Amino acid sequence: MFNSVVHADYCDNAIPEMKRLLKSNPVNDAQKSLHAGDKRFLASYGFTYLILGVSSEKSVEILKSENYRAIEGSGSNLCSWPASPPNLFNDINNYIKIYNKTILSTEH
């Protein structure tokens, strides 16, 4: 369990990235990443990694291959305190699902 100082640092770093992502378009972001050669999926991350928007089998494959980038704090309520906007976790997880579906749609 986080102590309050670690918790504050963790959330202070995690929330701005999530807010930044929510201001952008997940399809466009995925396409930009692909164009740059980055084929990694996004992982929701709190206490564990979750690859949202793909099948269970594909999720296991992605986790084993470590072909993902974690969005810190997105998979837990660790940061659900006054600094986080309402619906932050639902919204960021929806972003991750759409992003991952876009990446998945380009695989052959």
| pLDDT one-digit tens code per residue, 32-44 | 999 999 999 999 8
The range of the structural domain enclosing residue 18 comes to: 4-105
- Predicted confidence band of residue 4 (pLDDT cuts 50, 70, 90): very low
Long-range contacts of 79-84, Cβ-Cβ distance < 8 Å, separation of 24 or more: 79/10, 79/11, 79/14, 79/15, 81/11, 83/11, 83/12, 83/15, 84/11, 84/15
The set of residues, in sequence order, having a beta carbon less than 8 Å from that of 103 and lying 6+ positions away, is 30, 33, 34, 39, 40, 41
Question: Do residues 52 and 97 make contact, with C-beta atoms less than 8 angstroms apart?
Answer: yes
Query: Over pLDDT 70: what percentage of the chain?
Result: 74
> What is the number of helices (H) and of strands (E) in the chain?
4, 3
- Number of structural domains found in the chain: 1
Q: Is a pLDDT exceeding 70 seen at residue 53?
A: yes
**pLDDT the model gives residue 87:** 75
pTM of the predicted protein model: 0.82
Distance CA 79, CA 59 (A): 25
**pLDDT the model gives residue 21:** 85
Distance CA 8, CA 104 (A): 34
